[in-house]
Amino acid sequence: MKTNSKAKLVKEAYLKKYGVWYEDALLRTGLVCEMLGSDKKFKRILDGAGFFPTAHVFAENYPESRVSIVNLFEDDILYDLYDNIEYVKGDVTKLEFPDNYFDMAFFGEIFEHVYDLPRVLIEIKRVLKPGGFLSLSTPNLAAWYNRILLLFGKCPVNYHPTPIFYNAALQEKCRQEYKNPQAREFPLHHFHIRVFTLDRLIDYLKLKKFTIENYTVCNLATPDRRFYLLRKFLSYLLPKNAKEDIIVVARNEKDGNG
């Protein structure tokens, strides 16, 4: 991932306004850019994660592109720092863009939260140009910590029979953390509602007429996350399919809409 004085300015401004900085999201998006390659020339990029820090990484790495952040509400955008980032209010199951519009779409940590995933894939294929790229990340069900939890009869991390907050106090706490009051009116689907392993995710994308270009399973160990040193140490020891985060880059096949 490229680092320069502009990126430092963005981090300082974001911290000042929102009080947090998501190092793991930046690392994840930086890996996506490495997997895509610096030689790519993207005119339009869709950030389906709806998240300014990830859009900022794409704006830095592909300065000739226009990055569209799609989300149900505008929560964390810094408009005065980029001319090539825009916020578009929208639902990923019904994207308000023309057919064959984007060169690349990014869905970071989204698929595990989506009820109607087939509809989302149909929309992604529709707005992506033939041969355009889909990049995504999602937690690995087979991660080392989930294996330990299951061994003791516990549910995998972030999964629950009721994906909307089951604890009223926890739901209210999370609502208050949103900077935009409008966001507090939406149902909070905090927990994951579907699970993925690398092989099943790849099979599903192939079924939907995507060609797999690159993939990895890794531990995104950053100092702001729990058990940082342990997770960093384990990243050198664990087999790939027991690591934490799945990242896939695929290409939209030129024939059909899946």
Asked if 196 contacts 139 with a C-beta cutoff of 8 angstroms, the reply is yes
Question: Across residues 182-190, what is the average pLDDT?
Answer: 55
Number of domains within the chain: 1
pLDDT tens for each residue of 5-52: 677 888 888 888 888 788 888 999 999 999 998 788 899 999 998 888
pLDDT in tens, 62-78: 999 999 999 877 667 77
Answer for the pair 51, 32: CB distance below 8 angstroms, yes or no.
no
Which residues are within 8 A (CB) of 183 and not within 5 positions of it... i.e. 6 or more apart?
A: 72, 73, 75, 175
Residue 94 domain flag: yes
pLDDT surpassing 90 at residue 101: yes
Lowest mean pLDDT among 33-37, 100-104, 226-230: 226-230
pLDDT at 190 exceeding the cut of 70: no
| Model confidence band, residue 188 (pLDDT cutoffs 50, 70, 90) | low
Gyration radius from the chain CA atoms? 18
**177 is a domain residue:** no
Which residue in the block uniquely carries the two structure tokens 């610096």?
38
Is 119 within a domain?
A: yes
Least confident of 34-43, 198-207, 222-231: 222-231
**Residue 202 predicted with pLDDT over 70:** yes
What's the pLDDT band for 132 if we cut at 50, 70, 90?
very high
> What is the DSSP annotation of 22-69?
-HHHHHHHHHHHHHH-TT---SEEEETT--HHHHHHHHHH-TTSEEEE
What pLDDT, on the 0 to 100 scale, is given for residue 159? 81
Taking alpha carbons only, the member of 40, 32, 31, 35 closest to residue 131 is 40
CB atoms within 10 A of CB 16: 9
For residue 178, is it within any domain?
Answer: no
Cα separation, 149 vs 147, in Å, equals: 6
> Which carries the bigger pLDDT value, residue 185 or residue 140?
140
b (16+ CB within 10 A) / e for 209-244 = bbeeebbbbbbbbbeeeeeeeebeebeeebeeebbb
Q: What is the mean pLDDT of residues 95-114?
A: 94
Is there a domain that residue 240 lies in? yes
Kindly state the average pLDDT of the residues 48-57. Answer: 90
Whether residue 19 is contained in a domain is answered as yes
What CATH number is given to the structural domain containing 71? 3.40.50.150
In a domain, 64, yes or no: yes
Domain membership of residue 258 (yes or no) is no
Query: In the predicted model, what is the mean pLDDT of residues 137-143?
Result: 95
| Structural domain boundaries enclosing 71 | 5-141+194-252
